[in-house]
Amino acid sequence: EVPMATLSPSRVTLKEGENLDLSCTTSGEPAPDLIWSMALLSSYEITTSGQNSRLRLSNLSSLDHNSKISCTAENIVGEKGSSLLLDILFPPKITKLSDAISDHHWCIPFSVSGNPKPELQWLQNDRPVTEGAYIMTLIHDITDREYHGCLQLDNPTHLNNGNYTLIAKNKFGMDQKAIDAHFMLEPWGEERRSQIHNIRLFKSVKGCMIVSLISSFVTLMCRYDRTYLLCNDDDSASPLHHVSNGSNTPSSSEMGPDSKGSPRLSVSTVVQHIKRHNIVLKRELGEGAFGKVFLAECYNLSPDQEKILVAVKTLKEASENARKDFQREAELLTNLQHEHIVTFYGVCVESDPLIMVFEYMKHGDLNKFLRAHGPDAVLMTEGQTTRPVELTQSQMLHIAQQIASGMVYLASQHFVHRDLATRNCLVGENLLVKIGDFGMSRDVYSTDYYRVGGHTMLPIRWMPPESIMYRKFTTESDVWSLGVVLWEIFTYGKQPWYQLSNNEVIECITQGRVLQRPRTCPKEVYDLMLGCWQREPHMRLNIKEIHGLLLNLAKASPVYLDILG
């Protein structure tokens, strides 16, 4: 007869320190042997009489939780057993709380035991920590008795420095431990104030060391200060050249207006002049520091069409210096011809105001477009009943490779953009994207810029460490900015480091931190971003490599161009 073993009770839940009596009854022919099996730390006593056996456990420990106890009956026919798991209730105990460590996130590791599962609470400097998207408690592993995890901090700043206390509670008790965590120097402490004072970024800019050019649709050149023509801090300041003479040589703003190394514009450039009566203004599109931008109809511009829609940029100031800069930039823009650079048609100088005429990109700047076709678009529809179509991953790749194509062209022409961002790209029909803007970015997107001194506005969230600290702008610094543009695209237009102040962003970038992988971003694209964000400029990906990789990724998933409806 096959033996049988019956263990009673079949389920056990006891508090730590209590005792437990178990009985096991066997049957079978011949009479089976009865065997107890267990791995316990508590003391025990076994009493057997015939086919019955009694197990007494004394002073159960939390370490016995989830321990298995088996009773087995065995004879020459075979064996059969019965078992249970001990469920021991006990108060929490924090077995580990370690120093903060950094990988892609900062983490304060901990291990906590307790049954039932403890509730965890954190205090920072004796004040409750509010958890959310950027600070959260994560459990990574659960063993028989312990919960292993960390308090994860997403890009913490000096505001997160301090003493962290972990409190673990359940209905049987509580435990707490504390540890000091330091993530970032306080930006404006005495020591740090002295350090930052020595960074050239924060020295006063005398006169017009940095000039924003006429900041046309195509802001493709040396742009620090978006005052349109000249900085007015010093009347003696002269305008600077637009171009850079190579990726690793100083840019024109570093070399000065009369540097022999700066390439100059061809004197043979012929700028097209458009008659005033051929331009019919329709409505105002916006206003920047330089003047206003209008949607207009332009006649006799194309031999194939009687009139076409254009974007017209007017110039407020008409001083002699302003006119010279106006002419120089018109010559510069005339030389730029590429499918992903906004087309410059010409100028109208018959009378004031001076006018530049560009192609009209129907859907406006890329940043606004991304936000309008992202998961939060419903917040921006302003009462519209239909929800906008959300961009797909393949469409994002299509956008990215077009911008990279335009940047390859600029690099081939030895131009350093200095302010590449989605706000400075425009969207036309069929998801056509081109580099260029109305010159209104620093007015419309003022929070994207950090004001230094009187007029100088720096897009620090898009700038690499060498540009922030030493004002060094090269093709490699444009590559860094392109990586940030990719991050913008795959976050549907979020502002880089949006949870941090400008001073905290400077700290993060100069300390070597980078933006995290967006939720919708493929690993291949994030690896490409990381290749753009290498601290050493020469270690960054080449602009042609970036375009090739994006083009291959985009080809792998063809774009279905119905996004614009």
Whichever domain contains 151, its CATH number is 2.60.40.10
Is residue 360 part of an annotated ligand binding site? yes
**Band of residue 201 on the pLDDT scale cut at 50, 70, 90:** very low
Chosen domain end from 89, 119, 142: 89
pLDDT at site 380: 56
Whether a cis peptide bond, with omega within 30° of 0, leads into 30 is yes
Domain for residue 514, yes or no? yes
How many structural domains comprise the chain?
Answer: 3
Same domain, 455 and 513: yes
Domain for residue 341, yes or no? no
Q: How far is CA 131 from CA 84, 151, 508, in A?
A: 39, 9, 21
Q: What secondary structure, in 3-state letters, does 275-305 show?
A: CHHHEEEEEEEEECCCCEEEEEEEEEEECCE
Please report, for the domain that includes residue 449, its CATH number: 1.10.510.10
Task: Please give the torsion angle defined by the CA atoms of residues 414, 419, 423 and 427, in that order, rounded to the nearest 10 degrees.
Answer: 0
To the nearest whole number, what is the mean pLDDT of the chain?
80
Same domain, 23 and 166: no
**Band of residue 494 on the pLDDT scale cut at 50, 70, 90:** very high
**Band of residue 249 on the pLDDT scale cut at 50, 70, 90:** very low
How far apart (Å, rounded) are the C-alpha atoms in residues 163 and 154? 18
Domain for residue 405, yes or no? yes
Instruction: Return the amino acid letter for 418.
Output: R
Chosen domain end from 37, 65, 89: 89
Same domain, 505 and 367: yes
Tell me the mean pLDDT in the region 270-292.
Answer: 84
Q: How many other C-beta atoms are found inside a 10 Å radius of the C-beta of residue 429?
A: 10
Is residue 437 part of an annotated ligand binding site? yes
Domain for residue 259, yes or no? no
Same domain, 171 and 29: no
Tokens of 407: 């940047």
Is residue 171 part of an annotated ligand binding site? no
Q: What secondary structure, in 3-state letters, does 305-343 show?
A: EEEEEEEEEECCCCCHHHHHHHHHHHHHHHCCCCCCECC
Same domain, 58 and 121: no
**Of the listed 64, 325, 419, 478, which one is catalytic?**
419
Q: Which domain holds residue 501?
A: 363-378+390-555
How far apart (Å, rounded) are the C-alpha atoms in residues 484 and 518? 11
**Band of residue 243 on the pLDDT scale cut at 50, 70, 90:** very low
The yes-or-no verdict on residue 215 having pLDDT over 90 is no
**Band of residue 24 on the pLDDT scale cut at 50, 70, 90:** very high
pLDDT at site 542: 94
Tell me the mean pLDDT in the region 208-230.
Answer: 32
Asked if 404 and 482 touch (Cβ cutoff 8 Å), the reply is yes
pLDDT at site 245: 35
Tell me the mean pLDDT in the region 171-198.
Answer: 70
Of the CA atoms within 13 Å of residue 487, those in its CB half-sphere come to: 25
Asked if 462 and 477 touch (Cβ cutoff 8 Å), the reply is no
Is residue 365 part of an annotated ligand binding site? yes
Same domain, 171 and 33: no
Is residue 117 part of an annotated ligand binding site? no
Task: Reply yes or no on whether 144 is catalytic.
Answer: no
pLDDT at site 110: 94
Chosen domain end from 89, 108, 125: 89
**Band of residue 41 on the pLDDT scale cut at 50, 70, 90:** low
Is residue 293 part of an annotated ligand binding site? yes
The yes-or-no verdict on residue 341 having pLDDT over 50 is yes
Same domain, 15 and 101: no
**Cα–chain center distance at 444:** 21
Tell me the mean pLDDT in the region 468-488.
Answer: 94
Tell me the mean pLDDT in the region 266-284.
Answer: 80
Domain for residue 408, yes or no? yes
How far apart (Å, rounded) are the C-alpha atoms in residues 53 and 66? 22
Residue recorded with tokens 């989830």: 66
Name the burial class of residue 446, with classes exposed (0-12), middle (13-18) and buried (19+) by CB atoms within 10 angstroms of its CB. exposed
Same domain, 434 and 526: yes
Q: What secondary structure, in 3-state letters, does 362-376 show?
A: CCCEHHHHHHHCCCC
At 356-409, the pLDDT tens digits run 999 999 898 999 999 999 988 766 555 555 567 889 999 999 999 999 999 999
Q: How many other C-beta atoms are found inside a 10 Å radius of the C-beta of residue 56?
A: 14
How far apart (Å, rounded) are the C-alpha atoms in residues 278 and 300? 7
Domain for residue 525, yes or no? yes
pLDDT at site 156: 81
Helix (H, G, I), strand (E, B) or coil at 97: strand
Same domain, 35 and 152: no
Question: How many residues are listed for the chain in this entry?
Answer: 565
At 434-470, the pLDDT tens digits run 998 655 556 567 788 888 766 778 999 999 999 998 8
Whether a cis peptide bond, with omega within 30° of 0, leads into 187 is no
How far apart (Å, rounded) are the C-alpha atoms in residues 271 and 333? 9
SS3 content of the chain, % helix, strand, coil (to 5): 25, 30, 45
How far apart (Å, rounded) are the C-alpha atoms in residues 190 and 321? 43
How far apart (Å, rounded) are the C-alpha atoms in residues 8 and 565? 70
Same domain, 46 and 125: no
**Band of residue 293 on the pLDDT scale cut at 50, 70, 90:** confident
Tell me the mean pLDDT in the region 548-552.
Answer: 93
How far apart (Å, rounded) are the C-alpha atoms in residues 196 and 206? 18
Tell me the mean pLDDT in the region 485-505.
Answer: 94
Domain for residue 480, yes or no? yes
Domain for residue 194, yes or no? no
Same domain, 489 and 368: yes
pLDDT at site 324: 82
Of the CA atoms within 13 Å of residue 501, those in its CB half-sphere come to: 9
Is residue 364 part of an annotated ligand binding site? yes
pLDDT at site 440: 52
How far apart (Å, rounded) are the C-alpha atoms in residues 420 and 543? 13
Helix (H, G, I), strand (E, B) or coil at 460: helix
Same domain, 21 and 116: no
How far apart (Å, rounded) are the C-alpha atoms in residues 208 and 195? 25
In the chain, what's the furthest Cα-to-Cα distance? 118
Is residue 363 part of an annotated ligand binding site? yes
Range in 102-111, 149-158, 196-205, 276-285 the model is least confident about: 196-205
Secondary structure (DSSP) of 27-87 = E-SSPPEEEEEE--SSEEEEEEETTEEEEEEES--GGGTT-EEEEEEE-SS-EEEEEEEEE
Pairing of strands 79-97, 20-27: unpaired
Is residue 192 part of an annotated ligand binding site? no
